[in-house]
Chains A and B, each alone.
Chain A
Amino acid sequence: MSFPVILGVLVLLTILGFFVGRSRAMGVVGGQANQLHSRPHYYGHFIGAWCAIPGVLLFLAWVALETSVIESMVIASLPPNLANLPQAEMNLLINDIVNLSRGDVTSRAVVETDVRAAADFYAQLKSSSKTLLLAITVVLALAGMLFARARIAPDLRARNRVERVVMIIMIICSTIAVLTTIGIVLSLVFESLRFFQKVAPTDFIFGLEWSPQTALRADQVGATGLFGAIPLLAGTMLISFIAMCVAAPVGLMAAIYMSEYAPAKVRGAVKPALEVLAGIPTVVYGFFAALTVAPFFRDTGIELGLVISSESALAAGMVMGIMIIPFVSSLSDDVISAVPQSLREGAYGLGATKSETIKQVILPAALPGIVGSLLLAVSRAIGETMIVVMAAGLAANLTANPFEAVTTVTVQIVTLLVGDQEFDSAKTLAAFALGLILFCVTLVLNIIALSIVNKYREQYD
């Protein structure tokens, strides 16, 4: 018995409820649908809702609480010598019991009989929990069906009730986006606070050294990890700056050419081609950067007598810039097209050439929007992960030399969390603190950019 089966049973009961409700409504009025307040299928939906909603709520609550309830029941059943273990050992024990009940390997060399018994108890609770859930779901759905069926009468306002339920569901759906943001903020802030209990916030924000390895033994060399975020922020800024050096001129000039010069045919062909650049997954750019662009720069550097690292900031930044070109060009294209035609005609009337009109009339008029689009592109570059994970370095160098390897905030988040299971060390928690910085910086950039763009749009509409 598994969760999908239980959900399937619930769906079948709901469909049954629909038909029961419709035929009951027709039965009440002796087949004359015009005697009913609502169309007959609304009575079907009415009973369907009574079948489904209690069952779904119970199901969700069950899924959320099942594990913790079963675990506490297993702990309660343990003999006293095992039940009073400290927290960390208890977690390990629970883990072993769960693995044992599934027949997986455990961390124990010898499985004690008590643990074996607990694992059997756990497996038994798991399966009886599913059976119990199925039974309660069926009973709830049938009870809802009978209760709702008894209430069907010609003057029952079934449509209004169904519409109210749909309305409530829609309101719940529209709050999910808000809940997501709250979830992001809470999880980042909560884990960051735990991190700041281990590492002082000033050390984190102003520290110049980043070497996050924590020691296995206290007396090891370099036992305390250093969590200074400055080299990461500097690396992020360096790579984003290189990316913007590529994307800003290219994207802007492409946008100007396409909105002011290009014939409609060229525009129709080039615009989608540039959008393709935005649609390519970032992991593909990362592969391209690491395998083609970085070796190319390194070899060119050797030819020119320069030392260019094979994980240079230049390669990662340049490929990231290529990725961002379409963001800059399509947003700038929009704001340039939004400049009223009368401004252009005025400039032409004074004898200005096309490029003079663009440089002295259109660009100044479109400047706020262009700045907004550049800010959005910067925020995109700062948050970009895969290109830098694959093409930039891991060592935190505090340097402004684009030929050297630097690391970024996103690279460190990935390296700190990939393959790491323990969740209480400063190392893993540091990733959340970095995530908080990333979230705040991109959020501020986005808010500024969006408000600039919106304010500018209103000006000419």
Chain B
Amino acid sequence: MTDATTMNAVSGSGLRKSHSGDIVKASLKRRYAAEKRFRAYGIAAILFALSMLAILFSTIIGKAVPALTQTMIQLEITLYPQDIDPDGTRDPDVLSTANYRKLIRQAMFDLFPDVTSRRDKRQLYDMISPGAVFTIRDQVLKDPSLIGQRMTFQMPMSDDIDQLNKGAIRADLPESERRVNDKQIAWFKRLESRGIVETVFNTTFFTAGDSREPELAGIWGAAVGSFFTMMVTLLIAFPIGVLSAVYLEEFAPVNRWTQAIEVNINNLAAVPSIVFGLLGLAVFINFFGMPRSAPVVGGLVLALMTLPTIIIAARSALKSVPPSIREAAFGLGASHLQVITHHVLPLAMPGILTGTIIGMAQALGETAPLLMIGMVAFIVDIPGGPLDPSTVLPVQIFIWADSPERAFVERTSAAICVLLSFLVIMNVGAVLLRKRFERKW
């Protein structure tokens, strides 16, 4: 307001030139300061937003790096035939249900003959991951002739020991404040000094399904589930989106009904995603009786959610094809549909595909509606098809973020990095597509 009165003063006192000049001069410093301040606010706003982006990325990437490695133990184990296969049948059923746990326990106790009490023995065995038995079992099943031999197995250590090794559990804290007790730390130091502890690349994380044990959990199951879900979404949303965009843009008469469709599409694009989840639960699962947790239902819900994005993008791509193309085709005697399918659609296709990729990237990161239709279940198996129960990457991130184990923090961050890199690839692809095929008419 003060600036406005200044300007009034300037224009109202045109006759007394020197005086008004003084007023302007006197206020100039203040006005320029205000100008600078205003400009600084703008820069500060942008810096704030960008620094938040930087903090977000750096914390998540920083937390994700430890997930790339896993602490393993090289344990020498004797595969006693009387423990694995007392009858010598080599029957796979017997081999897969044998008590490998006992063998690992025995090997650990042999390393530490001084550990005698039951409680200490249990804590000693707890340093090895419960998944270690599968390492032995799989090798024995692959090659039953190993039975009776003494050989070295590389087995994962438990998540707490892994965290201790990576420094996430600090040994200098009081014993009551950490999940690894003093004895286990001492044992771990002894194992290290024997040179049988090693830190290797964490392949489990990229190849396994979910697990309650962080050292056995992986994202492959969720990635496959995401793939099936995205396929269903694409197969439904792309054809329907393109066909309805063509109809609305090229054929639809302007009347109440088409106007209603347009208003409706714009509003549908802004409906909260969780409402689509409620729709999926009420209609697809409870009314049509489709299976819970299945990618096909998730894909359907996400397809309905992505549809407005694809329609809006496809319509603007169709709109940008110049009328001269259409008129030329009409002039050569093409029918309306021939004009569209032979000329307009191919020219609009890069724009449509760009919009579709962006819509799919949104769908890939969507979590809330999938929680409603039961994709949040704990699923260990890798899904084999769109009807199998499965989860998806963002939901897997949500499940792990809710888990209390400390080792899941780094795995959650790593899963976020995987999800973000998929999104980056899709968005870069969309940008390249647009740059490569963009035409100025």
Contacts and interface: CB of A to CB of B under 8 A. Distances in A.
Interface string B399-430: 00110000001001100100110010001000
A279 interface: yes
A183 B365 CA distance: 24
Contacts of B59: 288, 291-292
B279 A249 contact: no
A52 to B, nearest CB: 14
A282 B281 CA distance: 21
Contacts of A176: 240, 244, 304, 307
Interface string B281-325: 111001011000000000000001001100100000000000000
Contacts of A153: none
A310 interface: no
Interface stretch (B136-144, B368-376, B432-440): B368-376
B201 interface: no
Contacts of A291: 59, 63, 401, 409
A173 B244 contact: yes
B247 A187 contact: no
A446 B243 contact: no
A258 B47 CA distance: 12
A326 B335 CA distance: 44
Contacts of B266: 446, 450
Contact of A423 (B48, B286, B288): B286
Contacts of B41: 253, 257
Interface string B41-53: 1111110111011
A261 B265 CA distance: 35
B181 interface: no
Nearest to B288: A64
Contacts of B264: 177-178, 181
B39 A376 contact: no
A281 interface: yes
A177 B311 CA distance: 10
B132 interface: no
B331 to A, nearest CB: 18
B23 interface: no
Give the interface size bracket for B toward A.
35 or more
B240 A173 contact: yes
B279 A386 contact: no
A376 B274 contact: no
A178 B427 CA distance: 29
B261 interface: yes
Interface in A266-292: 270, 273-274, 276-277, 279-288, 290-292
Contact of B366 (A281, A351, A376, A450): A281
- Chain B at the A interface: mostly helix, strand, loop or mixed? helix
B398 A386 contact: yes
Contacts of B151: none
Contacts of B32: 353
A270 B50 contact: yes
A277 B372 CA distance: 25
A177 B304 CA distance: 8
A249 to B, nearest CB: 7
Contacts of A257: 39, 41-43, 45-46
A384 to B, nearest CB: 7
Contact of B60 (A288, A358, A383): A288
A282 B307 contact: no
A174 B243 contact: yes
B251 interface: yes
A353 B24 CA distance: 12
Given A177-B264, A281-B394, A390-B398, A353 B34 contact: yes
Interface string B330-371: 000001110000000000000000000000010011111001
Contact of B289 (A67, A159, A174, A450): A67
A333 B279 CA distance: 34
A90 interface: no
Contacts of B271: 184, 383, 439, 442-443
A354 interface: yes
A316 interface: no
B273 A385 contact: yes
B278 A187 contact: yes
Contacts of A67: 289
B89 interface: no
21 contacts: A67-B289, A159-B335, A170-B243, A170-B247, A174-B244, A176-B244, A188-B275, A188-B282, A250-B49, A273-B53, A281-B366, A283-B401, A288-B59, A382-B272, A385-B272, A390-B401, A390-B402, A435-B278, A439-B271, A446-B270, A447-B267
Given A253-B45, A351-B24, 7 more contacts: A177-B311, A181-B264, A188-B275, A261-B39, A284-B416, A390-B402, A435-B275
Interface of B: 3-4, 7, 10-11, 24, 31-32, 34-35, 37-39, 41-46, 48-50, 52-53, 55-56, 59-60, 63, 239-240, 243-244, 246-248, 251-252, 260-261, 264-268, 270-276, 278-279, 281-283, 286, 288-289, 304, 307-308, 311, 335-337, 361, 364-368, 371-372, 376, 394-395, 397-398, 401-402, 409, 412-413, 416, 419-420, 423, 427
For the complex of A and B, 7 pairs with smallest distance between CB atoms: A383-B272, A257-B42, A281-B365, A187-B282, A253-B45, A174-B244, A355-B38
